[in-house]
């Protein structure tokens, strides 16, 4: 990383045996490569707290760190930045009376800590979910591009994101356990907790 914690070098390790076994799945390999590239570019739990606010910087240098970009909202850890709040509020139609609405995408949690992925139930089909699904159902989503824009390290062409419909208009409780238990058009009801596809 440089003096502003921006990633400037990284590596991706491709296992030749794995590539040989999946040679007929070129679309999936491309998505996996893009996924790993975005980790190297800064979509990482180790770098979320280093995201910068360059909104008042004329040069883009020496930008201050964003104020607490990881916050617990509606009981879940989320990446909270201005573009993500705006996008999530409109996409999911999460309207609240609070002046400091912080509704934004949930991060995957494992054993109480966050990972470097979106929560799969919340952003199913995102190429930055923990697992790459079918290539035709996995997209470069607007949320990931908004996060990269709000890192303060990049200028992103957000119009390059795919049209994304998962959870559209479903409100502030989308993908929370209590909503999943009642069953919706997105999740099946089942025993235990969590959202099941």
Sign of CA dihedral 40, 46, 48, 53: negative
Q: What are the start-end ranges of the E strands in 61-175?
A: 70-73, 76-79, 107-110, 113-118
Sign for the pseudo-dihedral over CA of 146, 147, 152, 153 = negative
Respond yes or no: is residue 36 known to be catalytic: yes
Instruction: Please give the structure tokens belonging to residue 9.
Output: 């070098």
Q: How far apart are CA 36 and CA 34, in angstroms?
A: 5
Residue of 25, 36, 49, 159 marked active site: 36
- CB distance 106 to 76 below 8 Å: yes
Diameter over CA atoms, the chain:
54
Classified as helix, coil or strand, 13 is: coil
- Which of 119, 115, 126 lies closest to 47, judged by CA? 115
**Sequence-separated (6 or more) residues with CB below 8 Å from residue 197:** 121, 124, 186, 187, 188
**What amino acid positions are annotated as catalytic residues?**
36
């Amino acid at each position: 990383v440089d003096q502003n914690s921006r990633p400037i070098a990284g590596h991706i390790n491709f296992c030749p045996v794995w590539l040989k076994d999946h040679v007929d799945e070129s679309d999936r390999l491309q998505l996996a490569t893009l996924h790993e590239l975005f980790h190297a570019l800064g979509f990482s739990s180790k770098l979320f707290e280093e995201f910068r606010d360059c909104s008042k910087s004329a040069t883009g240098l020496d930008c201050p760190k964003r104020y607490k970009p990881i916050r617990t909202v509606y009981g879940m850890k989320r990446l909270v930045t201005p573009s993500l709040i705006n996008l999530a509020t409109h996409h999911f139609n999460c309207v609240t009376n609070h002046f400091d609405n912080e509704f934004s995408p949930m991060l995957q949690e494992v054993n109480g800590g966050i990972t470097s992925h979106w929560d799969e139930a919340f952003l199913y089909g995102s190429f930055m979910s923990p697992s790459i699904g079918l290539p035709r159902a996995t997209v470069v989503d607007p949320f990931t591009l908004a996060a990269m824009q709000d890192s303060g390290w990049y200028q992103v062409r957000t119009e390059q994101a795919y049209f994304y419909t998962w959870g559209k208009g479903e409100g502030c409780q989308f993908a929370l356990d209590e909503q999943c238990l009642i069953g919706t058009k997105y999740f099946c009801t089942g025993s235990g907790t969590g959202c099941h596809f």
